[in-house]
């Protein structure tokens, strides 16, 4: 099992609508991508200044499933249209469970 974890930080002028559009776009991916086994998208609780703004955890059976997700056209569309326009920083890891 592969777990893909991504943390995103938004630019200072990202609007609430833009942030919600990212979340909605990401949450629409599991029904569209059958390789996803588990998927959570959560906003930071705002307890510490400087934290990332959003975290995503996605689980896949194997590397091939993860690659199918990464390359999926709907995922690429969310990245291009919703995430990149407001992205200040990104950190990601893939771990084996």
Domains of the chain: 2-96 (3.30.70.100)
Asked if 87 and 10 count as a contact pair (C-beta separation under 8 A), the reply is: yes
Cβ atoms of 22 and 54 closer than 8 Å: yes
Rounded to 5°, angle at Cα 29 from 60 and 55: 70
Q: Residue 54 has what pLDDT?
A: 98
Per-residue pLDDT 10s for the chain (97 aa) are: 999 999 999 999 999 999 999 999 999 999 999 999 999 999 999 999 999 999 999 999 999 999 999 999 999 999 999 999 999 999 999 999 9
Q: What is the rounded (10 degree) CA torsion for 40, 41, 44, 45?
A: -60
How many angstroms separate the CA atoms of 60 and 70, rounded?
11
The predicted structure's pLDDT at residue 76? 98
Kindly report the backbone phi and psi dihedral angles of residue 66, in degrees, each rounded to the nearest multiple of 5, phi listed first.
-65, -45
Q: What is the pLDDT of residue 7?
A: 98
Whole-number pLDDT of residue 90: 98
């Amino acid at each position: 099992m592969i777990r893909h974890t991504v943390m995103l930080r938004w630019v200072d002028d990202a609007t609430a609508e833009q942030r919600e559009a990212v979340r909605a776009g990401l949450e629409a991916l599991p029904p569209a991508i059958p390789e996803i086994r588990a998927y959570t998208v959560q906003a930071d609780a705002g307890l510490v200044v400087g934290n990332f703004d959003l975290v995503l955890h996605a689980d896949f059976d194997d590397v091939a499933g993860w690659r199918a997700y990464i390359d999926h056209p709907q995922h690429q569309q969310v990245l291009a249209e919703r995430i990149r326009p407001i992205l200040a920083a990104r950190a990601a890891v893939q771990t084996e469970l």
